[in-house]
Amino acid sequence: MPELLRVLVVEDDPVAAEAHRTYVDRLPGFTCVGIAGTAARALQVLSHGQIDLVLLDMNLPDGHGLDVVRRMRAAGNQTDVVAVTSAREVSAVQAAARIGVVQYVLKPFAFETLRDRLSAYARQRRAAESGQVVADQDEVDRLLHPATVSSVPKGLAGSVLDRVVQLLGNREGWTAEEVATSLGTSRITARRYLEHLADQGQALRTQRYDGRSGRPKVEYSWVSES
C-alpha cells in the first residue's frame, strides 16, 4: 500500500482546526500529523520536514498565509500547499497561484469539496512520482487546471451544496423554507441538502419556536467551520 500523505493543518481557530483534522483523517491516503495555530509554529514544524502537504489558512494572528509560503520557499522548502480560507479577494487567489499554492478552497465548505480537491491533488502527485509523461496539450491543460470529479452523493448537485453551505456560514439558524426561498428551489429540495449536511455532522438541527400555535420548525446551523 502507498504511504499516507502527511498533512499539517495551519488554522488559528480551534474548532475549524479540529474539523479540518477530522476531514483529513477521513480521506483515504491522508493523515493529519499536526495542527499549528500561528505562522511561527507552522514554520517551526515545517523546518523539521516530514510534511507532504499543508492546509493553510490565509489569516493568521501573526502573519498572512502567503508570507508563510514565501518564507517556506526562501528556506528551500517545497512542500505543497492548499489554501483553506475565507479570503475571497481575486488578488489573494492570483498571488497564491503565483507562489505555487496547488488548490484554493473557500470556507465554509462541505466535506465533499475538500475530498474532491485533495483526491485530485493525490492523483496528480502519484502521476508525477511514477514518472508519467503527458500525451498531448489537452493533458497538459488538465494538469495545470485540474477538474475535480464530484463525489457529492447521488441526487445532490455540488454547486447547490456549496451554495447551501455558504448560506449556513453567513448566519445562524436557517429553516428549509428560508433556504429554499434564498436558492429559488423547493422546500423539499432544500431540506435534502440540509439533512445531508446534518447527517455529515456539519450542520446542527435545533427547534425554532416562534411563540405562535403550531409545530416548531427545524432549523439548521453550521457547526464545522468558522
Give the tens place of pLDDT for each residue, 17-57: 999 999 999 999 999 999 999 999 999 999 998 899 999 99
Query: Which amino acid would we find at residue 84?
Result: V
Question: What integer pLDDT is reported at residue 143 of this predicted model?
Answer: 61
- Per the structure, the complete domain to which residue 111 belongs is given by 5-134
pLDDT digits (tens, 9 = 90+) for 117-152: 898 888 888 777 778 776 777 666 666 565 555 567
- Whether residue 55 is found in the same domain as residue 100: yes
What Cα–Cα distance (Å) separates residue 15 from each residue in 11, 130, 139, 212? 9, 37, 39, 35
Mark which of 99, 134, 169 sits at the end of a domain: 134
The cell for 48 is: 523539521
**53 in any annotated domain:** yes
Q: How many domains does the chain have?
A: 2
Domain shared by 9 and 115, yes or no? yes
Residue 19 lies in a domain: yes
What number of CA atoms fall less than 13 Å from residue 117's CA on the CB side?
20
For residues 51 and 75, the answer to whether their CB atoms sit within 8 Å is no
Look at the pTM and tell me if it is higher than 0.75. Answer: no
Res 4: pLDDT: 92
Strands 174-175 and 203-208: unpaired
